[in-house]
Structures are given as C-alpha cells and as structure tokens.
Amino acid sequence: MIEIKDLTKCYGSFKAVDNVSITVPKGTIHGIIGENGVGKTTIIHCVTGVYKPNEGVVLIDGEDVYDNPKIKARIGYVADSNSYFPTYRVKDMVKFYKGIYQSFDEESFNELNAVFALPEDRRINQLSKGMQMRLALMLNIAIKPDVLVLDEPTSGLDALAKKQVTDLLIKEVAERECTILISSHHLSELEKLCDDITMLQNGKVKYQSSVEGIKAKVKKLQAVFSSPVDLSDVEGILNVEQIGSIYHIITDNYTQALERQLYAKGADILEEIGMSLEEIFIYSSKEQR
Amino acid sequence: MFNIELRSGIPIYEQICNSVKEGVLKGYLKKGDPLPSVRKLASMLNINPNTAAKSYAELEKQGIIVTEKGRGTFISDCTDIDADFSKAMESIRPVLTQLMLSGTDKEDIIKGICKILEEQE
Amino acid sequence: MNSLYKNYIKNSLILMGGASLFSIFLNIMDIMSERASAVNGQEKWTSYMTEWSQWAGTIFIIIFAAIGLNTFLHYKDVNKKTGVFIKQLPVKYGNDFLFKTISSLIFIGVTLTVLCVIGWVMYSPYFAEGENYFKQMWDTAYMTFAVMVLFYSIGLLSQQIIGIPILAIAAPFAAFFGMLGSFIGYESMPYAIRELPIFRIAIDLLGKFFELICFYGKIYPEETLFIIWSIPFFVLAAILNSKIDYSNMGKLFLFRWCRPVAYVIGSTMFAFSMQVVVNGFETRGTAAIIITFILSWLAGFKIIQYFVRRFD
C-alpha cells in the first residue's frame, strides 16, 4: 500500500534522509523509530506530500503522492503538534475538513467526540496538547482514510488518552484494513502495536524487520565463564557487560554458530535473556557512539 | 493469563496461544466458552490486530478453538487434538541437548520436566 | 470551491473592506476639516489635514492595512505548522501560500532593487542635464507596464500571504514607483485617445470611486488608469503564480530572518509616516522630528508585536 523507494531528502547539503526504503502492506501497522532529529518527521513529510523527495519516490497504492490531490484525499495525517489554525474553533475545523475531504463523515466525527468530548466552541489555541492531538486524530479518522500517518501520536498524552488513541488505531486496522505508519519514541507501545519496524540512524535504515524478526536477531545472552575471557574477536557482538564471572553479551546477529563459538571459548552456562525493543534500541544507539 | 511478556524471546502470538492452551489445561477455559473478537482482544492487550488474528488462526489450526461465522470464537471440544508426539519430542531435543552440553545432570533435567507437568495438572 | 479558497477569499475581503472603511473614515475627517477651517480659519488644522492627504499619508494607510492584512493572514500560512498542514491537504499547489511567499520575497526583492537603482541613478545630479540612457528607458511606456505588473503582482502575491516584512518594505516603494509609472504612461498615451469623451467620463467616474475608497485626495486620470490597467495584470499574475512549482523548498529554513526584519522595517516605515504629523505643527525643530521619530518607531514596534503575538 505504501511504498517508499530509495528516498533521499536533503536540506541544503545536509542529508536528512539517506536512501530509505520501506514497504507497508495494506492493513498493517509500521513503526519508524529513532532518536530525535534522525529523519522520522522528514520521511513522514515526504509520505504526506509536504516535501518532494530529492531522490526516490513515495508511492501509495501505486501512485506518486507528491502534489497528487486524489491520493492525498485518502491519507490522514496527524502531526506531532498542532498545525491547525489557532483561532479556529473545533466546529470550524470540522467544517473545514468537510469542505476539503469528500469522504469526511461528520456523523463519524460526532461518534468519536462522544467519547473524547471536546467542546465544539473551544478554540484550537485553548485546547491542551492532548486535546489537540485527539482532535487531529478524530478529524483524520472521520475522513475514512486508507492510509493514516501519525507522528509521535502519544507524546505528552496521559495514560487514558494513550489507550484511547491505541484503541482507535486498532479499530481502524481491524475493521477497515487501514494502513498505518507511526513514528514514535514509545517503543514499548510500538512493540505490541506494530507488524514491522524500521529503526533509523543518521537518516539511514539500521534495522528493518518485523518485531519478531528483530528480536530473533538481536539478543542478550547470559554466559558464565569460569575464567576471564576475551571476546573481542567474536563477530556480531554489540556489547559485553561483565559482573564477576557472569557476562551479558548483546549480539545483533544471533546464530547457532555464535553460541558454538562462545561454548568453544569456555562458556559454562549459556542462556538467552529476553530484550524489549526499548533495550534493543538503546544498545544499538550506544553502539553508534 | 494473557500476560504479554515483552522481554521474552517468544513472539506475542505464540504467547497468546500458550496462554489459551494453559487456560484450557487448568480448566479456566471450558468447552464452549466464548473468546473475545480479534478486535476486542487486540484492544485488551494493546496489540496489533493482525497479531491477535494470527494467534487465533494458529489455535484454530491446532483445534483448540473454533470460529463460527456470525456467532464468534469459542473453545472447541479439544478431544480430537492431534498432538504429534514424535514431532513434539523433536522440538525439545535441541533444548535438552543444550542442557546436557552445559553439563546439567540428567536427573535434574528429568526433575525439572516433571515439575512443569505437575504445574499443568 | 474548497474550504481553503473560501477561507482565503473571506479573509481577504474582510481585510480589504476594513482598509477601505478606514480610508473612508479619513476622507470624511478631511472633508469635515476643510469645512471647519473654511468657517473658523483654523489653518493649522487645514495644513495638517492637507499634509495628511499627501502621499505619505496614503502610504501610512497602505502599510497599516498591509501589516494588518498580512499579520492576520500571516498566522495562517507563514506559520510553519499551518504551512505543513496546508501542504498535506488534497489541494493542488496553486494554493500553496507558504511557498508563494518565498518566491515573492525573491521576486520583489530583486525587482525593487533594480528599479530603485535605476530610479536613483536616473534622478541623481550627474544625469540632471542632457540625454541619458536610463532616463529614456524610464520614460518609455515599457517601464510603465513593468512597474504596473510589479505593483500588482506584489498586491496579488500579498493576497496570497507574503510575510509581514515584504509588504512593509514593498508598499511605499511600490506605491511610489507605481504612481510614477502611471504618470509617465498617461503622458505617453496618444492624445487622441485621452480626449475621447467616453474615455474621460469613465475615467472621471472611476476616479471618484477610487478617491472615496483609497483616500488619496484627488485621483488623477493617470492614477485611475493605473488602477484599471493593473486588474488584468493582477489576473495574469494569479494565473502565473498558480503555475509555478514551489516544490523544492523545504520548510526548515524559512523566515528565520522575517521576524527581526518585520519589526525593524515596519516600525521604521510607521515612524516615517508619522513625520507627516510632525509637519502639521508649526514648531518643527530638529528635536521635535527626532522625538516623534523615536516615539512613533516604538509605537509601530508595539503595534506589530501585538498583531504578531495575537495571531502567531
């Protein structure tokens, strides 16, 4: 559904996005993760047609997004912070969306607002950040998009709001086969929510796989070595932490061969300790430095 | 039940499957008990609906649950579950091999296995 | 017609209406003061209002309206965030105000610089006597049209939301050069056409109408012509504008300098305009001029600050 092919975007001489390719099949949720400033928002802006790529292309349903109103009418975009006209009231924004998107369903919006309860007459600049985000989400869901793009949708939200947002996204995928692209810092949520993940570093793709896939490759192994050992010649090790004879070995390329190597080096006990996506992310970022 | 452990190496859908199977074994889930819809389950656990769907598909394949169109998903009879014994044994072979390689006592291994079986009853 | 267009037109009309109302108000004040001074011989008041109705006053209004117009509309489109919002809407990029702003910046900046240089060179003492190439160039009809296109492209582009500083800088120059061009153009118009009765009547009527809403005092036929001529150019500029592809401009580096420039230029222009007020008083020593300048500069600053804060 969404095909980002060899996307490169530069600001002057600075390459914010460097040859990134991502494919998001219909009805799936794809997460983009990475540190601040790594290029997540730039990619999102290319996907929503705000920027034109310097190289590469973004295709949605086979068509180029850029300056393509027909395709853009099927994309909902929820920005990381308010980008609506500050003095407009909630009902003005509803009217605005209605006048731009043919598929906007006011009834659908009202149903959603029955839950979120945003006052119609409140101006955008009087809404809290969480409320602004919920408004954006409601408006964009009410257009019944085929693709929903969200930039840090849960940042700054309280636990209840986060749950409400997540539920809405789940509903869209389950009921309408909506295709979702999310960028976020909240890896624990993404871990459960996403089918696939792309981890970015310096504008380039570092890991790209299903969550299961990443966890199958990036593992933390706990090994006991009765005598001190030098592991620097073992390939695929990201990091080693040692407490006494217990070694915590992080690898980003887990294979049976690696295990055999460790046994060969004298490991007495070797077991796998699970890592959450958050930890994986931290170790990968650390390695960069 | 249904506690998703993110730090485990086991994929989420598999964890759900195991959870359901455990529930059936322990008697918490009986034949004919309804399970939440894919969407409801996804919402409960804050997971991707495709993952929820995958777990249900797997459970149905193994004969643990059955989906009736228009009515929902229910725990099945479970009497004709086809558990291939030899296949199952093959799947624990690598685990046992590793345990033995690392020097664990055969007695300890057997004790450990018995303990797990007791917990399931 | 989609919401964005409607939005735009509505706001533009409101602001145009507001500016015109303000002009009408000043017209009325002018008329009243003339009557008052005729009866009571208040010469100070008369001279004040006469000065007021000269070009500096017009420019003050243009600036005032322009700053108001652009601040009001500025918040919608030049604001980085709403610019992004607009850019992802399913509308063709003919609506892309944000990026038109940049092109207007470049367009106006370059053109104005060129024109100013030509104008100042032409009227500098070195060329006062004898033939000179620049003067001839300037005096031809070609220059008139170029100036009119410039002026109304500025006007049109400003409709599509140029940032505050652009109109603050552009308006007085645009007005000055535009007027100059129209005078020259009128002069170069064949006499036969100028004296046609239909032509004269039409011009006079339109002139009266423009007088009322533009508050320039008497509007000369040249100026009426100027205004009429610019309408097709307005339309042409709109069409051309919608064809330009602004795609490669990322939003990251826009307008960092806009804010300080807006404050400085805007306040300075405001201060210059207020010199008209100083001229109205008899005692206008250097001290008075300087003090008025400083005070009105600060006032201008505050006004701009208020609007920017209100709508940012």
Residue type at A47? V
A134 and A167 fall within a common domain: yes
How many CA within 13 A on the CB side of residue C47? 8
A271 and A140 fall within a common domain: no
- Residue to substitute from C1, C5, C84, C91, interface A, most A β-carbons within 10 A: C84
Take residue B48 and report the two structure tokens written for it. Answer: 């991707």
Three-state SS at A28: coil
Give the model's pLDDT for residue C144. 43
What value does the mean pLDDT take over residues C276-288? 55
Which residues lie closer than 8 Å to C304 by C-beta, 6 or more apart? C67, C71, C164, C262, C263, C266, C267
Distance of alpha carbon B66 from alpha carbon B69, whole angstroms: 10
Instruction: Evaluate whether residue C297 is within a structural domain.
Output: no
Q: Taking 70 as the threshold, does the pLDDT of residue B65 lie above it?
A: yes
A196 and A267 fall within a common domain: no
A120 and A186 fall within a common domain: yes
Distance of alpha carbon C150 from alpha carbon C157, whole angstroms: 10
Give the model's pLDDT for residue C169. 40
Instruction: Evaluate whether residue C132 is within a structural domain.
Output: yes
Nearest CA distance, B72 vs chain A (angstrom):
15
* Contact yes or no for C278/C284 (Cβ under 8 A): yes
Which of A213, A238, A255 is the endpoint of a domain?
A: A213
Number of A–C residue contacts, CB under 8 Å: 67
Residue whose pair of structure tokens reads 């570093």 in the numeric block: A201
Q: Taking 80 as the threshold, does the pLDDT of residue A7 lie above it?
A: yes
Take residue C98 and report the two structure tokens written for it. Answer: 């944000």
Number of structural domains chain C divides into: 1
Domains by residue range for chain B, with CATH: 12-75 (1.10.10.10), 85-120 (no CATH)
- CATH classification at residue A253: 3.30.70
A47 and A123 fall within a common domain: yes
Size of chain A, expressed as the number of residues it contains: 289
Give the model's pLDDT for residue C79. 46
Contact A274 B6 (CB under 8 A): yes
pLDDT digits (tens, 9 = 90+) for C36-51: 656 555 555 555 445 4
Rg, Å, chain A Cα set = 22
Q: Taking 60 as the threshold, does the pLDDT of residue C142 lie above it?
A: no
Q: Higher pLDDT residue, A61 or B88?
A: A61
Instruction: Evaluate whether residue C282 is within a structural domain.
Output: no
Give the nearest chain A residue to C89 (CA atoms).
A72
Give the model's pLDDT for residue A262. 82
Residue whose pair of structure tokens reads 């300075």 in the numeric block: C268
A172 and A259 fall within a common domain: no
Percent of chain B with pLDDT over 90: 11
Q: What are phi and psi of A46, to 5 degrees?
A: -70, -35
Give the model's pLDDT for residue A218. 85
Q: Higher pLDDT residue, A173 or C255?
A: A173
Domain range for C144: 3-248
Give the model's pLDDT for residue C160. 37
Burial state string for A239-270 with b = 16 or more CB within 10 A and e = fewer than 16 = ebeeeeeebebbbbebeeebbebbeeeebeeb
Q: Taking 60 as the threshold, does the pLDDT of residue C137 lie above it?
A: no
A209 and A266 fall within a common domain: no
A198 and A184 fall within a common domain: yes
Q: Taking 70 as the threshold, does the pLDDT of residue C230 lie above it?
A: no
pLDDT band at A114 (very low <50, low <70, confident <90, very high): very high
Query: A123: which DSSP letter?
Result: B
Q: CB distance from A73 to chain C under 8 Å?
A: yes
Distance of alpha carbon B1 from alpha carbon B14, whole angstroms: 13
Nearest to A50 among C2, C76, C84 (CB): C84
Instruction: Evaluate whether residue C289 is within a structural domain.
Output: no
A64 and A121 fall within a common domain: yes
A7 and A81 fall within a common domain: yes
pLDDT digits (tens, 9 = 90+) for A191-225: 889 999 998 888 889 889 888 888 888 888 888 88
Give the model's pLDDT for residue C199. 65
Q: Higher pLDDT residue, A159 or C31?
A: A159
Which of A182, A213, A244 is the endpoint of a domain?
A: A213
Q: Taking 50 as the threshold, does the pLDDT of residue C134 lie above it?
A: no
Take residue A167 and report the two structure tokens written for it. Answer: 């539920």
pLDDT band at B116 (very low <50, low <70, confident <90, very high): confident
Q: CB distance from A100 to chain C under 8 Å?
A: yes
Using alpha carbons only, give the angle B34, B35, B41 rounded to the nearest 5 degrees: 155
Which of A183, A198, A213 is the endpoint of a domain?
A: A213
Residues of A in contact with B98 (CB under 8 A): 270
pLDDT band at A66 (very low <50, low <70, confident <90, very high): confident
Number of structural domains chain A divides into: 2
Q: Higher pLDDT residue, A182 or A247?
A: A182
| Chains B and C touch, using 3 or more CB pairs below 8 Å | no
pLDDT digits (tens, 9 = 90+) for C175-225: 444 444 455 445 545 555 556 666 667 767 766 766 655 544 555 665 566
* Contact yes or no for A31/A208 (Cβ under 8 A): no
Q: CB distance from A276 to chain B under 8 Å?
A: yes
Lowest mean pLDDT among A18-27, A191-200, A237-246, C300-309: C300-309
Nearest CA distance, B78 vs chain A (angstrom):
28
Domain range for A248: 218-288
pLDDT digits (tens, 9 = 90+) for A29-55: 999 998 877 788 889 999 998 888 889
Q: Higher pLDDT residue, C274 or B8?
A: B8
Q: CB distance from C75 to chain A under 8 Å?
A: yes
Q: Higher pLDDT residue, C70 or A91?
A: A91
Q: What is the mean pLDDT of chain C?
A: 53
Take residue A57 and report the two structure tokens written for it. Answer: 């292309």
Q: Taking 60 as the threshold, does the pLDDT of residue A166 lie above it?
A: yes
A177 and A123 fall within a common domain: yes
Q: CB distance from A274 to chain C under 8 Å?
A: no
A52 and A158 fall within a common domain: yes
* Contact yes or no for C78/C258 (Cβ under 8 A): yes
What value does the mean pLDDT take over residues C253-260? 46
Q: Which chains border C (3 or more CB–CB pairs < 8 Å)?
A: A
ipTM above 0.85, yes or no: no
